[in-house]
């Protein structure tokens, strides 16, 4: 079932989100000081391509730099990304067919809001 939902997600939503996150990641990597944010954008892009069957967990080894980076991320873009995922998730949930896609969009809110110090892993 996850594979079917992932293919539907990829065709309807995922490819566009992933392209956006990859472009943001490239821009962040070009601006040398923001490379950690670029790497986070690439991780989110991978999650945006194939969200079903994967989940987000906190990394135990994340330190104070992850906290500072997350605060900067929220200020400069994370809040708007999270709002965008919430609005898109609500719009997708209007139809019965779009409910699983809307729920996947809601699942992306935490990683788009606070990406540093987290890891995307397969669901056991």
Structural domains counted in the chain: 1
What is the mean pLDDT of the segment spanning 18-47? 92
| Residue 48 belongs to domain spanning | 2-122
Q: How does pLDDT run across 84-101, given as a tens digit for each residue?
A: 999 999 999 999 988 999
Radius of gyration over every alpha carbon of the chain, rounded to an integer in angstroms: 14
Task: Give me the residue label for tokens 């949930």.
Answer: 93
Q: What does the pLDDT read at residue 63?
A: 84
Average pLDDT value for the chain: 91
Q: Which residues contact 94 (CB under 8 A, 6 or more apart)?
A: none
Reported as a single tens digit per residue, the pLDDT across 43-74 is 999 999 989 999 888 888 888 888 999 999 99
């Amino acid at each position: 079932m996850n594979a079917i939902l992932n293919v539907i997600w990829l065709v309807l939503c995922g490819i566009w989100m992933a392209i956006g996150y990859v472009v943001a990641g490239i821009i962040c990597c070009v601006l040398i000081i923001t490379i950690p944010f670029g790497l986070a954008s690439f991780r989110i892009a991978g999650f945006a391509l194939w969200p079903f069957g994967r989940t987000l967990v906190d990394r135990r080894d994340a330190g104070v730099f992850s906290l500072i980076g997350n605060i900067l991320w929220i200020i400069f873009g994370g809040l708007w990304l999270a709002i965008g995922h919430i609005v898109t998730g609500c719009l997708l949930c209007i139809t019965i067919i779009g409910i699983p896609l809307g729920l996947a969009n809601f699942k992306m809110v935490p990683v788009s809001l606070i990406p540093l110090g987290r890891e995307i892993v397969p669901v056991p």
